[in-house]
Structure 1
Amino acid sequence: MTELEKIAYAKIYVDKLANGINPLTEQQLPDSDIINNVKISRCLFYVSAILGQVIEKEGRSQRNVKIVKAPFQLDYEARKGFAYSEVPISISEVTRRINELIQPEEMKKLNYKHVADWLIQAGFLTIVPRDDGKMVRKPTDNGMQLGITTEQRQGQEGIYTVVVYNKEAQQFILDNLDAVIEISQR
């Protein structure tokens, strides 16, 4: 008997017990039997459902099923669908819009950090210390010429500075997406 057949056999027993039937004699158990307690019965129905899922997945429990996603890629045709913003947007918003163009259940998403890392390597962003010692990204002179700027925004903890990308900078990122993808796959 295979492991899957054993699981199917166990499910039959659990189903019978959940329905108040002795699986060995096929007789209905008295209402006073502990197996007919509502909590026990519900538990057995739950176990039966899990065993059913394992059988459907050919012996693998749901937790053991690991979906292997393809590395991020975006063909040139799909890139044409990018929703450019006329107002400057953050790198996380640029990346979110790029990720909208893929099938996320089949492919890994692009992380905004990979875009930022590429912009740092290419000389459009730099990392500088803030007054409190925290390291932050800031556009270089080349970055500002490209359309990367900073904005002051109000958050829960007060005013903060965010790096934003105008339409030309967004286009530049899309035009160089292959270089970003290369960094993301290292």
Structure 2
Amino acid sequence: MNRDFERIDKAKLILEKIAKGVNPVTGEQIENDSFLNDPRVIRCFYFVTEILDNVRKGAYNSGKNTKFIITPEQKGMVEFPANNIGVNEFSKHVNACLDLSISKKLSGTELNKRLKKLGILSEEKTEESKTRTITNEKSKEYGFESEKRSFNGVEYEMVVINDKGKNYLLENIEAIMES
């Protein structure tokens, strides 16, 4: 069993490095034009690392739980990075502290949907007829901002959560997820 845990830990470490844009063999940055820098691929790597983490903890959940449940103790264990983060990263840090044998995972998509329903965030149609999440006049009051980011030389606006927003979301996450 320990051998399996070692292999899971090693696989997780390799996937995390790739997701962060680092070649796990050489330690060098992965070229910007590599498919490994595509946000969809990066999300996939993070998803797999979360599954490995849950398997390691003995808390892998195949989706049978339908309700989001977080205890005050679990909330107290959540640690966020000091910089502004997106909803997917927010969800990742919360999920790391959940008991997935009784709670469903928090997803950035679902959280965005609930925040739009509450009027904290909004949505707009792009020129390609897709929808994207944006801030509105209420967003700043709740700790949400828009930041310019760049991927493969293309600039885009990303909704991010500052410290005020992280605190607001964590304090009110149960009510938000029930709305």
Do the structures match in fold with TM over 0.5?
yes
Structure 1 residues not aligned, in runs of 5+ = 1-65
Distance in 2 between the 1:167 and 1:90 partners? 12
Specify whether residues 156 and 74 from structure 1 end up closer, same or farther in structure 2 by C-alpha distance, changes over 3 A only.
same
Distance 1:154 1:105 in 2: 38
Given the superposition, is the C-alpha separation of residues 79 and 145 from structure 1 closer, same or farther in structure 2, using an over 3 Å criterion?
same
Q: Does 1:119 align with 2:119?
A: no
The aligned counterpart of 1:167 is 163
Bigger CA radius of gyration: 1
Give runs of aligned pairs for residues 147-162 of structure 1, distance below 5 A: 147-156=143-152, 158-162=154-158
Q: What residue identity is the alignment partner of 1:155?
A: F
1:92 aligns with 2:88: yes
Q: Residue deviations 1:118-150, cap 9 Å, x none?
A: 211221101112233321111111112322111
Cα deviation, 1:39-61, whole Å, max 9, x if unaligned, reads xxxxxxxxxxxxxxxxxxxxxxx
> Are 2:132 and 1:129 equivalent residues in the alignment?
no
The amino acid that maps onto 1:139 is T
Shift of 1:67: 7.7
What corresponds to 1:182 in structure 2?
178
Q: Could you say if the C-alpha distance between residues 71 and 85 of structure 1 is closer, same or farther in structure 2, counting changes exceeding 3 Å?
A: same
Q: From 135, 141, 147, give the equivalent of 1:145.
A: 141
The percent of aligned pairs where both chains have the same amino acid is 19
**RMSD value, Cα:** 2.2
Gaps in structure 2 of 5+ consecutive residues: 1-61
The 8 Å contact of residues 145 and 161 in structure 2, kept in 1 or not, is answered as: yes
* Deviation of 1:92 (Å): 0.5
| Aligned residue pair count | 118
Corresponding residue SS for 1:115: helix
TM-score of the pair, normalised by structure 2: 0.58
Q: What secondary structure sits across from 1:176 in the alignment?
A: helix
SS class of match (2:155): strand
Tell me: CA distance 1:75–1:157, structure 2 relative to 1, closer, same or farther (3 Å): same
The CA distance in 1 between the partners of 2:66 and 2:108, in whole Å, is 18
Runs of 4+ in 1 over 4 A off after TM superposition: none
What secondary structure sits across from 2:78 in the alignment?
coil
Given that residues 148 and 166 in structure 1 are in contact (C-alpha distance below 8 angstroms), is that contact kept between their aligned partners in structure 2?
yes
Helix, strand or coil for the counterpart of 2:138? helix
Structure 1 residues 174 and 167: alpha-carbon distance in aligned structure 2, compared to 1, 3 A threshold:
same
CA-CA distance at 1:168 after TM superposition: 0.5
Shift of 1:160: 2.0
